[in-house]
Amino acid sequence: MSDTIFIDDLLVRCIIGIHDWERKARQDVLINVELDVDTTPAGASDDFAHAVDYRDLAKRIIGMAEESSYQLVEALAEEIARLCLVDDRVEAARVRVEKPGAIRFARSVGVTIERVRS
């Protein structure tokens, strides 16, 4: 499949980390998502009913992340991927979660995962 829907640089604030101070203060987390989707039906019909609602997906990701309290970015990324695959039209999801400034002298640190519909 060659069609990709993407959400770039979604900034959320959430509790994430293993240190005591990380468990008390919300931190910025940057989320990027790529979805493998056949956009042919939506493109051919120009009908929203045939499209993946990426605005709704972004809202669900924001809501989940802001209410979460994961220790690991890997766990947050896994839950985001699960949310992406709720829509049966999404064949695969690539999720990148970053904690800007988490490591001294690095702009960001994070993880990228890919999950495929099984």
What's the pLDDT score for residue 1?
Answer: 57
| Rounded CA separation 39/1 (Å) | 10
pLDDT interval class at 102 (50, 70, 90):
confident
Spatial contact of 70 and 16, defined as CB atoms under 8 Å apart: yes
Average of per-residue pLDDT across 83-93:
97
Neighbours of 94 (CB within 10 A): 19
- In three-state secondary structure terms, 14 is strand
CA atoms within 13 A on the CB side of 37: 24
Average of per-residue pLDDT across 59-84:
97
The residue ranking higher by pLDDT, 2 or 19, is 19
Is the pLDDT at 51 greater than 60? The verdict is yes
Q: What kind and span of H or E run contains 13?
A: strand 4-16
The whole-chain average pLDDT of the chain stands at 95
What's the pLDDT score for residue 118?
Answer: 82
Domain 4-101, architecture per CATH: 2-Layer Sandwich (3.30)
Average of per-residue pLDDT across 30-50:
97
Spatial contact of 111 and 80, defined as CB atoms under 8 Å apart: no
- pTM for the whole thing? 0.94
| Rounded CA separation 82/95 (Å) | 10
| Rounded CA separation 63/66 (Å) | 5
Neighbours of 7 (CB within 10 A): 18
What's the pLDDT score for residue 58?
Answer: 98
pLDDT interval class at 101 (50, 70, 90):
confident
